[in-house]
Amino acid sequence: MRSLTLKSFLVASAVVVVAAAAARAADDTPAAKQQRWSLENEHLGVVLDPQSGTLTVTDKAANHEWKQLPPAEKKEPRFRNVRAADQSRQGIAFEADFGWSQGKPTPLTVTLTLPEKGSDLVVEADTAKRNAVIEYLPFLEPLVLDSPHAVLAVADYSNGHLYPLSTKPLVHKWFSTSRLDMPWVGVCDLEKGFGYAIIVETSDDGAVEVKPFKAGGKELAAPRVLWTPCKKEFAYPRRLIYHFAPRGGYVALAKRYREYARAHGLIVPFAEKLKKNAKIERLFGAPDVWGNSSLKFAREAKAAGIEKMLIHGRSSPKEMKAINELGYLTSEYDNYTDVFTLKPGQEVDALHDRVPENVVLKADGQRMPPWLTFDKKEQ
Tell me what the mean pLDDT of segment 333-360 comes to.
Answer: 83
- Write down the H helix ranges in the chain: 6-12, 20-24, 30-33, 249-263, 270-276, 295-303, 317-325
**Confidence at residue 14, expressed as pLDDT on a 0 to 100 scale:** 32
Per-residue buried b or exposed e for 56-86, using 16+ beta carbons within 10 Å of the residue's own CB: bbbbeebebebbbbbeeeeeebbbeebebbb
Enumerate residues 6+ apart whose C-beta is below 8 A from 102. Answer: 133, 135
**Confidence at residue 21, expressed as pLDDT on a 0 to 100 scale:** 34
- Please provide the size of the chain in residues: 379
**Confidence at residue 22, expressed as pLDDT on a 0 to 100 scale:** 35
Higher-confidence residue of 39 and 157: namely 39
**Confidence at residue 49, expressed as pLDDT on a 0 to 100 scale:** 87
**Confidence at residue 240, expressed as pLDDT on a 0 to 100 scale:** 97
Query: How high does pLDDT run on average in the chain?
Result: 85
Q: What percent of the chain shows pLDDT beyond 90? A: 59
**Confidence at residue 321, expressed as pLDDT on a 0 to 100 scale:** 96
Q: Where are the domains of the chain?
A: 6-263, 270-331
| 103 band by pLDDT with thresholds 50, 70 and 90 | confident
- Listing DSSP states for 306-318 in one string gives ----EEES---HH
The pLDDT tens digits for 242-292 are 999 999 999 999 999 999 999 999 999 999 999 999 989 999 999 999 989
User: Does domain 6-263 match CATH 2.70.98?
Assistant: yes
pTM for this one? 0.76
The pLDDT tens digits for 305-335 are 999 999 999 889 999 999 999 999 999 876 6
| 72 band by pLDDT with thresholds 50, 70 and 90 | low
**Confidence at residue 334, expressed as pLDDT on a 0 to 100 scale:** 67
